[in-house]
Amino acid sequence: MNDPSHKLLADITAVGMYVPPRVLSNFDLEKMIDTSDEWIRTRTGIRERHIVSKGQATSDMAAKAVEELLKNRGITADEIDLIIVGTVTPDMLFPSTAALVQDKIGAGKAWGFDVSAGCSGFLFSLQTGAQFIESGRYQKVVVVGADTMSSIVDYTDRNTCVLFGDGAGAVLLEPSENGYGIIDSALKIDGSGGKFLHMKAGGSLMPASHDTVDRKLHYIYQDGKSVFKFAVKGMADISYEVARRNNLTGDMIRLFIPHQANKRIIDAATRRLKLDDARVLINIDKYANTTAATIPIGIYEAYRDGKLNQGDDILIAAFGAGFTWGAIYIKWGLAARA
């Protein structure tokens, strides 16, 4: 639906992604811990995940995703105004991953910052980036979701280590006046959920020490069952809310691109939206949960595979640590890839 008021919208005009080449399959994990390919597949939908090699960090993957995006758009890094990186696995506590990416790609005039919102990191970053475009202040905003989950996963803990992978995805936002772009969003945070999913040490509350290392406090802690319960309701409800208030029925949504934490959580949201499975992007089998990267990687693959056409209505949604959750409605603006 074109906006008659010619409101400035933030449109996605290029996409990029990167996953490291090394693959860790369920069968590899069978050799490391007491698990099975069957358990992992049926409980989560995951078959394999990509893992960085030694020395490779979040900013390296993010920079590669942004470089691909620039190539696809045919522009150079010095045209970028702003870089926003959603991540919970920055290379280091400071400087920000955005600063490291800015330097790696040589974005001479850009400023930037990181957004910490767990698995909703890309949604929060995208909505933040969109405000800078809608205000008319900036012309080219790069939004990245990138996480090196292998850096905070305990590969002796079968409850968590099977769930996560590494990767990065990026989109370019530019102003549009033709009705294409980010139309609506609903974003939420509820810190009372923090106790179910967090990393205990390494921050100001419990700085790193021999003791914190010995007690394995620098790894992901997750109460999977509780998070699952909140995620099923949270992601389904907010997706439904954004769809309903934009009069989007299941048959109008061209593609639903949800966070990829567990296929069963995605199925619950799909049912709530009354969507056919063909309208839901699933790639958890290949990448597992890459936290802030799942959605931009999903957008990238959908576009690459010709699943997105100009004018399509798409819905993206996530739930994650915080708790944080949200959904964003996008009128897709790029012409389908030939």
Distance separating the N- and C-terminal Cα atoms of the chain: 24
Structural contact between residues 289 and 165, judged by C-beta atoms closer than 8 angstroms: yes
- Residue 119 designated active-site: yes
Structural contact between residues 85 and 256, judged by C-beta atoms closer than 8 angstroms: no
Contact between 123 and ligand UT7 per CB under 6 A = no
Minimal distance, residue 218 CB to ligand UT7, in Å: 18
Minimal distance, residue 241 CB to ligand UT7, in Å: 19
Interface stretch with ligand UT7, choices 52-60, 148-156, 167-175, 257-265 (CB under 6 A) = 257-265
Interface stretch with ligand UT7, choices 120-128, 157-165, 187-195, 275-283 (CB under 6 A) = 157-165
Give which of 121, 51, 49 is closest to 87, Cα–Cα. Answer: 121
Burial group, residue 214, by CB count within 10 angstroms (0-12, 13-18, 19+):
exposed
From the list 227, 257, 295, 317, which residue makes contact with ligand UT7 (rule: CB under 6 A)? 227
Minimal distance, residue 11 CB to ligand UT7, in Å: 28
Segment 310 to 329, residues that bind ligand UT7, using CB under 6 A: 320
- Residue 210 designated active-site: no
Q: Which of 26, 161, 259, 262 is catalytic?
A: 259
Examine residue 90 and say whether the peptide bond preceding it is cis (omega within 30 degrees of 0): no
**How many angstroms separate the CA atoms of 106 and 78, rounded?**
7
In the complex with ligand UT7, which residue's Cβ is closer, 14 or 220?
A: 220
Contact between 149 and ligand UT7 per CB under 6 A = no
Contact between 231 and ligand UT7 per CB under 6 A = yes
Two structure tokens written together for 291 = 């936290």
From the list 207, 210, 225, 247, which residue makes contact with ligand UT7 (rule: CB under 6 A)? 225
Two structure tokens written together for 173 = 């936002």
**How many angstroms separate the CA atoms of 223 and 226, rounded?**
6
Q: CB 54: neighbour CB atoms within 10 A?
A: 4
Structural contact between residues 112 and 254, judged by C-beta atoms closer than 8 angstroms: no
**How many angstroms separate the CA atoms of 305 and 337, rounded?**
8
- Residue 50 designated active-site: no
**Residue 86, H or E segment:** strand 82-86
Minimal distance, residue 267 CB to ligand UT7, in Å: 12
Q: Which of 26, 72, 262, 289 is catalytic?
A: 289
Contact between 89 and ligand UT7 per CB under 6 A = no
Two structure tokens written together for 77 = 């890094």
Contact between 162 and ligand UT7 per CB under 6 A = yes
Contact between 35 and ligand UT7 per CB under 6 A = yes
In the complex with ligand UT7, which residue's Cβ is closer, 9 or 162?
A: 162
In the complex with ligand UT7, which residue's Cβ is closer, 35 or 212?
A: 35
Two structure tokens written together for 178 = 């033709």
Kindly state the number of chain residues that form the binding site for ligand UT7, as judged by CB under 6 A: 20
Give which of 264, 282, 306, 260 is closest to 167, Cα–Cα. Answer: 260
Two structure tokens written together for 232 = 């099923």
Segment 270 to 299, residues that bind ligand UT7, using CB under 6 A: 289
Examine residue 124 and say whether the peptide bond preceding it is cis (omega within 30 degrees of 0): no
In the complex with ligand UT7, which residue's Cβ is closer, 136 or 191?
A: 191
Contact between 159 and ligand UT7 per CB under 6 A = yes
Residues engaged in binding ligand UT7 (CB under 6 A): 35, 39-40, 43-44, 119, 158-159, 162-163, 224-225, 227-228, 231, 261-262, 265, 289, 320
Q: Which are the catalytic amino acids?
A: 119, 259, 289
